[in-house]
Amino acid sequence: MFDININLILGQMVLGMVNGVFYAILSLGLAIIFGLLGVINFAHGVFFMLGAFAAYMLGETLGIGYWGALVLVPVMIGGLGLVVEVVLIRHLYKLDHLYGLLLTLGLALFAEGAIRIFFGPQGLPYSIPDNMRGAVNLGFMFLPYYRAWVVVFGIVLCFATWFVIEMTPLGAKLRAATDNPAMVQAFGINVPVMLTLTYAAGVALAGVGGVMAAPIMSVDPAMGTNIVIVVFAVVVIGGMGSILGSILTGLGLGLVEGFAKAVFPEASSTVIFAVMVVVLVLRPRGLFGKMA
Partner 1 sequence: MLEIRDLNAWYGESHVLHGLDMDIPEGKVVTLLGRNGAGKTTMMRTIMGLMGKTTGTLTYQGVDLLKLRPDQIARRGIALCPEDRAIFPSLSVQENLFLPPIIAKGGMEIDHIYKLFPNIRERASSRGTQLSGGEQQMLAIARILRTGARFLLLDEPTEGLAPVIVQQIARTIKEIKALGYTILLVEQNARFVEDLADIHYLIENGAIVDRMEAAEFAANIDRVDKLLGV
**Helices (H), ranges, 38-96:** 44-57, 66-87
CA dihedral sign, ordered 244, 245, 250, 252: positive
Question: What dihedral angle (degrees, nearest 10) is formed by the CA atoms of 153, 159, 161, 166?
Answer: -170
Show contacts with partner 1 in window 78-107 (CB under 8 A): none
Give the amino acid at 52. Answer: A
DSSP designation for 289: P
For 32, 180, 195, 234, the CA distances from 36, given in Å and listed in that order, are 6, 10, 7, 19
Radius of gyration of the chain (CA): 19
Q: Does 190 participate in binding partner 1 (rule CB under 8 A)?
A: yes
Q: Does 263 participate in binding partner 1 (rule CB under 8 A)?
A: no
Applying CB under 8 A, among 64, 102, 164, 189 the residue interacting with partner 1 is 189
Q: Does 183 participate in binding partner 1 (rule CB under 8 A)?
A: yes
Applying CB under 8 A, among 83, 172, 274, 278 the residue interacting with partner 1 is 172
**In whole angstroms, how close is the CB of 15 to partner 1 at the nearest point?**
36
Q: Does 180 participate in binding partner 1 (rule CB under 8 A)?
A: yes
Q: How far is CA 138 from the centre of its chain?
A: 27
Q: How far is CA 292 from the centre of its chain?
A: 24
Q: Which residues contact 60 (CB under 8 A, 6 or more apart)?
A: none
Q: Does 117 participate in binding partner 1 (rule CB under 8 A)?
A: no
Q: Which residues contact 212 (CB under 8 A, 6 or more apart)?
A: 21, 22, 25, 70, 150, 153, 154
Applying CB under 8 A, among 103, 184, 200, 219 the residue interacting with partner 1 is 184
Task: Give the interface size with partner 1 as a residue count (CB under 8 A).
Answer: 18
Applying CB under 8 A, among 185, 218, 255, 263 the residue interacting with partner 1 is 185
Contact mark string toward partner 1, 140..169, x via CB under 8 A: -----------------------------x
Q: Does 125 participate in binding partner 1 (rule CB under 8 A)?
A: no
For residues 168 and 270, which CB has a smaller minimum distance to partner 1 in the complex?
168
Q: Does 191 participate in binding partner 1 (rule CB under 8 A)?
A: yes
Segment near partner 1 (CB under 8 A); pick from 109-117, 148-156, 184-192, 202-210: 184-192
Q: Which residues contact 120 (CB under 8 A, 6 or more apart)?
A: none
Applying CB under 8 A, among 2, 188, 266, 281 the residue interacting with partner 1 is 188
**In whole angstroms, how close is the CB of 50 to partner 1 at the nearest point?**
32
**Crossing angle of the two packed helices 97-119 and 223-238, in degrees rounded to 10:** 150
Q: Does 269 participate in binding partner 1 (rule CB under 8 A)?
A: no
Q: What is the largest CA-CA distance in the chain?
A: 63
**In whole angstroms, how close is the CB of 191 to partner 1 at the nearest point?**
7
Segment near partner 1 (CB under 8 A); pick from 177-185, 196-204, 223-231, 258-266: 177-185
Applying CB under 8 A, among 97, 116, 175, 285 the residue interacting with partner 1 is 175
Applying CB under 8 A, among 90, 116, 173, 285 the residue interacting with partner 1 is 173
User: How many angstroms separate the CA atoms of 9 and 112, rounded?
Assistant: 35
Residues at the site binding partner 1, with contacts judged by CB under 8 A: 169, 172-173, 175-176, 178-180, 182-191
